[in-house]
């Protein structure tokens, strides 16, 4: 009888803790991903950019430098936004299993980040030379949808201005 009660108590504790973990995601920010900076070169070459995708279909690009203004803003079509939602649901991103390949000597870090109801960083999936087929399918899928906006070129052009400011 005691074992039965212990089992019931354990199941109840697990049920309560699982229910408490339900995340409330941002109503303003769908997700962000980094642009993937070089792992070598000048400081400008190694400065990464963050691509923020908002729920109003706005995309903003920021360099990962203190006090850096937004360097680009664009608006996705409804179709493009829906495509991103299809491949990158918050639940799927939350459940990603990603490992970093620490044996690589020269590589880059890649991340997909979700935000909480207060628009603060909730979790990031990825890492240094991340391994995980689902991660790469989502990351590359988003980058493919954003490709017509030439974000890589925008970031590279901004990096050229950093060469003179350092």
Which contacts qualify for 87-92: CB closer than 8 Å, 24 or more apart?
A: 87/137, 87/138, 87/141, 87/142, 88/30, 88/31, 88/112, 88/138, 88/141, 88/142, 90/23, 90/25, 90/31, 90/114, 92/134, 92/138
Query: Do the strands 121-128 and 99-100 form a parallel or antiparallel pair, or are they unpaired?
Result: unpaired
Average pLDDT value for residue range 3-30? 60
Q: Say if residue 25's pLDDT is above 50.
A: yes
pLDDT tens digits, residue range 98-123?
A: 887 666 666 788 999 999 999 999 99
pLDDT for the residue 42: 76
pLDDT tens digits, residue range 46-97?
A: 788 999 999 999 999 999 888 888 999 999 999 999 999 999 999 999 999 9
- 3-class state of residue 25 by DSSP: strand
CB 41 within 8 A of CB 48: no
pLDDT for the residue 103: 64
Q: Say if residue 154's pLDDT is above 80.
A: yes
* Mean per-residue pLDDT of the chain: 84
- Nearest CA to 123 among 90, 86, 155, 151? 90
């Amino acid at each position: 009888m005691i074992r039965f009660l212990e089992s019931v108590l354990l199941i109840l504790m697990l049920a309560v803790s699982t229910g408490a973990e339900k995340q409330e995601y941002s109503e303003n920010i769908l997700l962000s991903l980094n642009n993937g900076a070089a792992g070598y070169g000048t400081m400008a070459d190694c400065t990464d950019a963050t691509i923020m995708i908002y729920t109003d279909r706005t995309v903003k690009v920021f360099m990962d430098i203190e006090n850096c203004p937004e360097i680009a803003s664009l608006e996705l079509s409804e179709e493009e936004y829906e495509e991103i939602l299809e491949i990158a649901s918050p639940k799927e991103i939350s459940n990603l299993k990603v490992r970093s390949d620490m044996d690589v000597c020269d590589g880059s870090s890649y991340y997909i980040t979700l935000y909480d109801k207060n628009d603060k960083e909730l979790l990031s999936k990825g890492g240094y030379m991340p391994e995980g087929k689902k991660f790469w399918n989502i990351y590359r899928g988003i980058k493919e949808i954003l490709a017509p906006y030439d974000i890589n070129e925008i970031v590279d052009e901004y990096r050229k201005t950093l060469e003179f400011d350092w």
